Amino acid sequence: MKDLINGILKFQRDAFPARAKLFKNLAEHQSPRTLFISCSDSRLVPELVTQQEPGELFVIRNAGNIVPSYGLEASGETATVEYAVVALKVTDIVVCGHSNCGAMSAVANCTCMTHMPAVADWLRYADSARVVNEARSHESAAARIEAMVRENVIAQLANLQTHPSVRLALKEGRLALHGWYYDIESGAVDAYDHATGNFGALAGHPSARAAA
């Protein structure tokens, strides 16, 4: 707690004054353009990786960057996605997995998680990705886990499309879905290409060229 308290004091002393006008505007409203769905892993900080200021990202973080398919019982993720699309009118949703993901490692390795039953239940939302990943051959255990992370990103993009608010926004052409894979050690980001079904360097992705 000492580190957190010292961090708050430093924020109030150094960071806040430099952004006082920004925070004054944010006190009244927010208008993020992107919903960013990432893992809770402490090594992935969405605002740092994307170099965004407060108010620019609407963020969901959980174990394995998972979005359950739409169902009768709404989850926190379902409610947040709906709010982002309907109320905030975000134009983009990013699902971002990352290297050395503990959640996806557990899924890929079929790790026994009887000591964490809630986690085990949650990770079943990655079952479709696991089935696809297990049907393929991999050069090594590390390659199997990396592939699992990427397959899970694709699976969660598919889950998103079961949400009525997302489906409508996609049909009306006012929303785009993006899948990313972030490498912690190098800082590199690969993007999913919906046309080819493959991941490639973000710099060469069509969305990056359009933004340049």
46-70 residue pLDDT tens? 999 999 999 999 999 999 999 999 9
Quick check: is 71 in a domain? yes
Residues 86/165, Cβ–Cβ less than 8 Å: yes
Quick check: is 21 in a domain? no
Quick check: is 207 in a domain? yes
Q: Which residues pair with 199 in a beta bridge?
A: 192
pLDDT bucket at 212, cuts 50 / 70 / 90: low
pLDDT bucket at 72, cuts 50 / 70 / 90: confident
Quick check: is 138 in a domain? no
Segment 133-157 mean pLDDT: 96
DSSP state of 35: E
What is the CATH number for 176? 3.40.1050.10
pLDDT bucket at 146, cuts 50 / 70 / 90: very high
Quick check: is 172 in a domain? yes
**Number of domains making up the chain:** 1
| Parent domain of 55 | 29-101+153-211
Look at residue 209 and tell me whether its pLDDT is greater than 70: no
